[in-house]
């Protein structure tokens, strides 16, 4: 809804209130003062325009944002347009009849140049009513885009820490293609001692080794990208612990080289002496023929044949009973003097 104050101000500024109406500048000022005192009086049938329209960019995208119009309204939709600095008017349509309060222009398959200048505008619609267009600010992508934070990872190597940096992903182009002189600012400190942080500036490599560290100590690292126009958002702090100061990278390299050398030597020996190794593992010498015949012939011993063909023999046994008599041995009396206490019974079989 367009307020009375806005309508009057537009007419006075445009010079449309002049003779034959004979409205002086003092009358315009009086009406404006009165309308300000009365508040946002609304003219019925005219839809108010969106407010706080701004064009933003994050990692080289292009998004038009705004706030809803003042005053009561229902079922409001919005239409956006944009233009580049070389265009005279807004001749490119962005979003049509959307209900949310932003339009991502970079997802509309439009051509966006990383060094281009752009403006946007938006209007509200409710039924058959449409508001006036409200224009946004103008932005230059490479100067005004907000650069996201880099991705940082750490790896410990003895008393040193290697920092690996990955640039944020841009909507168009790449960071190094847009900002050729971009550098990294690496800040690091012992865990819990941020106030004693140290920094390495003007770093162009995305892999950096921090050597001036204490062994067996936990360190935290934060990285920020510096460009000729604006810095990026700082990365999240990442922490890693150092290990033994005596540990050196050539030790692992030496062990790896030794394993590779031994493996190559074994392969060479196997190839050169493969025939000898094959003869040793699988000898081709055969037993004499008469040995084979002797070992494979069935046994013909008469004793073996008799044992194989005979039946198990019957067992013969006698039953023996032992009966004790009434005599007992006196203490100290020899066993022979006592006589035998057993008697042999006649065979029952």
Question: Using one digit for the tens of pLDDT, what is the confidence trace for 280-331?
Answer: 677 666 667 776 677 676 666 666 666 767 766 677 777 777 776 655 545 5
CATH superfamily of 151-241: Immunoglobulins (2.60.40.10)
pLDDT of residue 283: 65
What does the block give as tokens for 27? 């009358």
Identify whether the C-beta of residue 121 lies closer than 8 Å to the C-beta of residue 90: yes
pLDDT of residue 255: 81
| Cβ-proximal residues to 191 (8 Å cutoff; 6+ apart), any chain | 217, 218, 219, 220, 239
Identify whether the C-beta of residue 187 lies closer than 8 Å to the C-beta of residue 198: yes
As a whole number, mean pLDDT of residues 20-34 equals: 49
Greater model confidence, 172 or 239: 239
Q: Is 304 buried (19+), middle (13-18) or exposed (0-12) by CB count in 10 A?
A: exposed
Q: Structurally, what CATH architecture does the domain formed by 51-144 represent?
A: Sandwich (2.60)
| Cβ-proximal residues to 342 (8 Å cutoff; 6+ apart), any chain | 322, 323, 324
What average pLDDT is seen over the chain? 78
As a whole number, mean pLDDT of residues 10-30 equals: 46
Hey, CA dihedral for 39, 43, 47, 53, is it positive or negative? negative
Burial state string for 83-108 with b = 16 or more CB within 10 A and e = fewer than 16: beeeeeebebebbeeeeeebbebbee
Question: Taking the domains of the chain in order of start, what are their residue ranges?
Answer: 4-38, 51-144, 151-241, 250-281
Greater model confidence, 130 or 333: 130
pTM over 0.85: no
Identify whether the C-beta of residue 201 lies closer than 8 Å to the C-beta of residue 183: yes
Identify whether the C-beta of residue 156 lies closer than 8 Å to the C-beta of residue 243: yes
Q: What confidence tier does 62 reach under pLDDT thresholds 50, 70, 90?
A: very high
């Amino acid at each position: 809804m367009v307020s009375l104050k806005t309508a009057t101000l537009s007419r006075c500024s445009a010079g449309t209130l002049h003779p034959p109406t004979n409205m002086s500048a003092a009358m315009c000022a009086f009406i404006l003062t009165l309308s300000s005192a009365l508040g946002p009086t609304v003219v019925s049938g005219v839809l108010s325009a969106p407010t706080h329209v701004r064009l933003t960019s994050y990692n080289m995208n292009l998004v038009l944002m705004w706030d809803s119009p003042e005053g009561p309204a229902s079922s409001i939709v919005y239409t956006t347009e944009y233009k580049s600095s070389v265009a005279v008017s807004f001749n490119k349509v962005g979003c049509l009849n959307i209900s949310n309060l932003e339009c991502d222009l970079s997802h509309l398959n439009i051509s966006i140049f990383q060094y281009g200048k752009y403006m946007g505008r938006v209007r509200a619609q409710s039924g058959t009513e449409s508001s006036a267009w409200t224009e946004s600010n103008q932005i230059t992508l490479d100067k005004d885009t907000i650069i996201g934070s880099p991705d940082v990872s750490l790896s410990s190597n003895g008393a040193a820490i290697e920092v690996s940096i990955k640039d944020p992903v841009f909507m168009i182009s790449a960071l190094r293609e847009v900002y050729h002189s971009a550098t990294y600012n690496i800040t690091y400190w012992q865990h819990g001692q941020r106030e004693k942080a140290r920094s390495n500036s003007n770093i162009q490599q995305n892999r950096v080794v921090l050597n001036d560290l204490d062994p067996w100590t936990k360190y935290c690292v934060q990285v920020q990208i510096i460009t000729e126009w604006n810095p990026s958002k700082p990365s999240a702090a990442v922490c890693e612990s150092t290990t033994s100061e005596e540990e050196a990278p050539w030790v692992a390299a030496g062990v790896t080289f030794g394993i590779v050398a031994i493996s190559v030597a074994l392969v060479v020996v196997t190839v050169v002496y493969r025939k000898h190794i094959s003869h040793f593992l699988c000898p081709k010498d055969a037993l004499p023929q008469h040995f084979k015949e002797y070992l494979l012939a069935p046994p013909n011993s008469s004793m073996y044949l008799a044992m194989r063909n005979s039946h198990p023999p019957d067992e013969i046994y006698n039953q023996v009973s032992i009966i004790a008599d009434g005599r007992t041995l006196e203490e100290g009396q020899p066993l022979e003097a006592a006589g035998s206490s057993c008697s042999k019974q006649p065979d029952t079989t």
